[in-house]
Amino acid sequence: MKSKFSADGVCLQRLSFVALVAGRKPTDVNQATALRVTRGNSLSFIAAKWFSGLAVFLALGILAQAASPDIRRAKSDQGVSYWNERVAGVPWSIHVLKIDRSRKDLAFVAALARDKVLGVSMIADQARAVPAEIGKAIGGVNGDFYLRDNPTFAGDPRGLQIFNGDLVSGPSTVCVWFDASGNPHLDDVKGDFTVTWPDGSKTPFGLNEQRQRGMAVLYTATYGPATRAIGGRELILEKDGAGPWLPLQPSQTYRARVREISTNGNTRLAPGAMVLSFPPQMLAALPAMEAGSTLQISTALTPDLKDVKTAIAGGPALIKDGKAFTLMNPPPGTSSDYSQRSKYERHPRSSVGWSPTHIYLVTVDGRQPELSVGMKLAELAEVFVKLGCTDAMNFDGGKSAQMWMNGQIMNDPCQGEDTVANSLLVVRKPEGR
């Protein structure tokens, strides 16, 4: 089935992408298309060209079962284009959102469900909630893996997230972040979050997450209505002096004063305040504190992400500095844990990657034998290689794997449109920004 946009000028870019998946240069397809337009060649000529291109790709061992690719849908906005490419025989249904990096009116946002760490919502709802001063969401995909099994803490993302400069979740794995010029970066970001007490001693802490035994956690109002911690000791903090304060920013140092101390747990999280929470097991080792005491909070990150507005985690990296993930089968000794074995299994996937000229959001449908079986990570990495990407990262997959554009879900999620914790959205900035 051909693209619903039948004009050759519109289809040409889509044909070029299929050529990439088939292991051929886009110029080869451009020439073939030109021949069809100028000489009136039959479609069988084009088909022959496709099958010869597929032979090259089959040699790679990636599409051993594939038939000729097929462009099903196409859509575009200024600087943003979407298409759905299908490969029968495997089968695969691949959804691509291509964003022009030269467009200064486009930017990326790591959106939150209901503007809070806790909770989940539809990508469409997250897109509508993007503040007008940031811009209007055009398209995007679901984001990081998140806590699902415990309803009390459902929606907590696994790794780093920065939303409009607000550091809402700490790092634990690889992430994508955008610098002040809008350039994407892929790094295994490390956090050194510490509180420095009046005596100079330091205590590490986590950020906006479920408090565990032996672990301190700093909470902001972005987490939710309250800390949801039981017992222990919680210091309600306010700003001390003229330095920086909320929203909490990455790679920054804050001076705080203890306003109040609670021993009941589940302290309410009010705007303008932070809560430093300690479990009972840590209390004996803490220095004596009282209302009015001062301390220092550090959100140090490596690399330094000071002034970064957008970051979102995922993983693993599919391509890093031009080196792709290529393992099709688990090496000896690989854990049977799902997080490890699933890398080598075919599942629905969402992902992000970039070339020198474009950023690509890719979602692959899966768990639907008649439509698309999903991809292994190495197969997904190969898609980005064919798109010319030097870096790419995997996002949460399975039933979460969804692509949204201009008000609708573009792919076919295996369990239908569903809620997710966060998303990576491309937005069009307001005029003058």
Q: Are residues 33 and 56 in the same domain?
A: yes
Give strand ranges (E) for 78-135. Answer: 80-87, 92-100, 106-112
CA atoms within 13 A on the CB side of 200: 0
* Tens digits of residue pLDDT in 9-47: 333 344 444 444 444 444 333 333 333 333 334 434 334
Rounded distance between C-alpha atoms, residue 388 and residue 71, angstroms: 19
Is residue 217 over pLDDT 60? yes
Give strand ranges (E) for 179-313. Answer: 184-188, 190-196, 202-207, 216-219, 233-239, 253-262, 274-278, 294-302, 310-313
- Whether the bond between 247 and the residue before it is cis, its omega within 30 degrees of 0, is yes
Q: Are residues 355 and 426 in the same domain?
A: yes
Q: Cβ-count burial of 322 within 10 angstroms (0-12 exposed, 13-18 middle, 19+ buried)?
A: exposed
Q: Are residues 345 and 410 in the same domain?
A: yes
- In the block, tokens 């000529």 appear at 45
Q: Which residues pair with 352 in a beta bridge?
A: 361, 393
Q: Are residues 176 and 315 in the same domain?
A: yes
Q: Are residues 280 and 324 in the same domain?
A: no
Q: Are residues 401 and 358 in the same domain?
A: yes
- 19, 42, 65 — which closes off a domain? 65
Count of structural domains within the chain? 3
C-alpha dist (Å) from residue 89 to 86, 93, 157, 371, 373: 10, 11, 36, 10, 10
Say which DSSP state 312 is in: E
- 267, 302, 337 — which closes off a domain? 302
Q: What angle do CA 314, 318, 323 make, to 5 degrees?
A: 140
Q: What is the mean pLDDT of the chain?
A: 88
Q: Are residues 406 and 312 in the same domain?
A: yes
pLDDT of amino acid 75: 85
* Tens digits of residue pLDDT in 79-123: 999 999 999 999 999 999 999 999 999 999 999 999 999 999 999
* Structural domain that includes position 180: 67-188+307-433
- 269, 302, 335 — which closes off a domain? 302
Q: Are residues 127 and 264 in the same domain?
A: no
| Six token digits for residue 66 | 């594939």
pLDDT of amino acid 62: 45
Q: Are residues 86 and 37 in the same domain?
A: no
